[in-house]
């Protein structure tokens, strides 16, 4: 854990749908928080400009003087150089030197990490779960995760923290944005939920979803809860695939906890209950008995807390 005497850090979170910024204290207290739409279609230069402005806003609202900056962004990326390497959820972000752009703007040591990997460390440090091992999964515009084992963040030989979103759940399945087939991200991300619903609605105009100009994951969740048959089919496939994915991770990692976060988890028990049941039923009994599946308590701030955790982590070892 970071020393409670450390000054706060500025934390920036780059998602496919939203940008977020906040100032976070060493005890995990979020002193300021703000977010805006990402608008990825405007290109990386415009998005980075708004991200930096959002960081300035977070600093102004907190009145704090941070000692470092942490940045969480969808990968792949190089955490050593802070260069973003073409994430599927951020089209056009090829070799974007995000770390140096942030460091130049704020004049502070800057750490860049895969957003889901960072969020795993944030959950471990400030989730108050009382565990030494956990898997964090973000179910949002994209889908990914991170692993903490024996109190240490797993980064791997490629320093990507594991591409959990690209674990294959159906080897003959849907095409994923990474080019492979059957990845978990092709079924459980918000983008894929909306896309699959639109595909079904094209042949099932009786669905209430057919009345919408644009289908989003949020509408699929709402209509599934209201009893729409098409929405329910898409949602049931989503929770089944996520349950299978979580079972695989329980078997491989044997964590004490799997934490689900991200925008799609706003559906609450509508997501958690079938995913927990499916995961614990399919995992090997000893691993399942040692694990639970829960929702993050941090809501929209989970990405900012993850970025902050990375910044504090680098300060601890420097």
Q: State whether 291 and 306 are in the same domain.
A: no
Is 79 found in the same domain as 52?
yes
**Whether residue 266 sits in one domain with residue 191:** yes
Identify the pLDDT of residue 4.
63
Does 316 have pLDDT greater than 80? Answer: no
Inside any domain, residue 291: yes
Both structure tokens of 23? 């100032």
Residues 155 and 266 reside in one and the same domain: yes
Q: Identify whether the C-beta of residue 176 lies closer than 8 Å to the C-beta of residue 245.
A: no
Does residue 2 sit within a domain? no
Per residue in 200-236, pLDDT (tens digit) is: 999 988 899 999 999 999 999 999 999 999 999 999 9
- Asked if residue 276 and residue 169 are part of one domain, the reply reads yes
Question: In terms of domains, do 270 and 166 share one?
Answer: yes
The burial class, CB within 10 Å (0-12 / 13-18 / 19+), for 245 is: buried
Determine the pLDDT at residue 279. Answer: 97
Among 149, 150, 184, 180, which Cα is nearest to 164's?
184
Mean pLDDT throughout 86-100? 91
- Cis before residue 76, ω within 30 degrees of 0? yes
Confidence of residue 100 (pLDDT cuts 50, 70, 90): very high
| Rounded Cα gap, residues 111 and 23, in angstroms | 15
Domain membership flag for residue 275: yes
Q: Give how many domains the chain has, as a whole number.
A: 2
Q: Are residues 292 and 310 both part of a single domain?
A: no
The boundaries of the domain holding residue 42 are 9-121+300-317
Please state whether the predicted TM-score (pTM) of the whole model is above 0.85: yes
Let me know: does 141 contact 116? Beta carbons within 8 Å. Answer: no
The answer to the question of residue 266 being in a domain is yes
| DSSP class per residue in 241-283 | HHHHHHHHHHHHH--SEEEEESGGGGGTHHHHHHHHHHHHHHS
Same-domain status, 308 and 292: no
pLDDT in tens, 186-196: 999 999 999 99
Place of tokens 């970071």: 2
């Amino acid at each position: 854990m970071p020393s409670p005497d450390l000054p706060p850090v500025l934390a920036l979170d780059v998602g496919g749908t939203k940008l977020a910024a906040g100032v976070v204290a060493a005890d995990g207290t979020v002193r300021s928080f703000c977010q805006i739409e990402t608008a990825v279609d405007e290109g990386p230069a415009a998005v980075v400009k708004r991200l930096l402005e959002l960081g300035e806003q977070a600093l102004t609202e907190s009145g704090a003087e941070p000692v470092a900056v942490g940045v969480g962004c969808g990968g792949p990326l190089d955490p050593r150089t802070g260069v973003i390497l073409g994430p599927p959820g951020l089209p056009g972000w090829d070799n974007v030197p995000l770390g140096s752009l942030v460091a130049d703007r704020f004049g502070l040591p800057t750490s860049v990490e895969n957003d889901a990997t960072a969020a795993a460390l944030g959950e471990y440090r400030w989730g108050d779960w009382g565990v030494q091992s956990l898997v964090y999964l973000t179910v949002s515009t994209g889908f990914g995760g991170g692993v903490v084992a024996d109190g240490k963040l797993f980064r791997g030989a490629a320093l990507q923290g594991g591409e959990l979103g690209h674990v294959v759940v159906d080897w003959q399945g849907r095409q994923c944005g990474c080019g492979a087939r059957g990845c978990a991200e092709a079924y459980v991300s918000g983008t894929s939920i909306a896309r699959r619903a639109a595909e079904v609605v094209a042949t099932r105009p009786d669905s209430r979803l057919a009345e919408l100009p644009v289908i989003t994951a949020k509408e699929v969740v709402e209509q599934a809860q209201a009893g729409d048959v098409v929405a329910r089919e898409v949602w049931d496939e989503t929770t089944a695939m996520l349950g299978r994915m979580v079972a695989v991770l329980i078997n491989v990692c044997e964590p004490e906890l799997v934490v689900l976060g991200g925008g799609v988890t706003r559906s609450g028990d509508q997501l958690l209950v079938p995913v927990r049941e499916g995961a614990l039923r399919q995992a090997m009994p000893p691993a399942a008995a040692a694990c639970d599946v829960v929702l993050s308590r941090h809501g929209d701030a989970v990405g900012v807390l993850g970025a902050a955790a990375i910044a504090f982590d680098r300060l601890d070892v420097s």
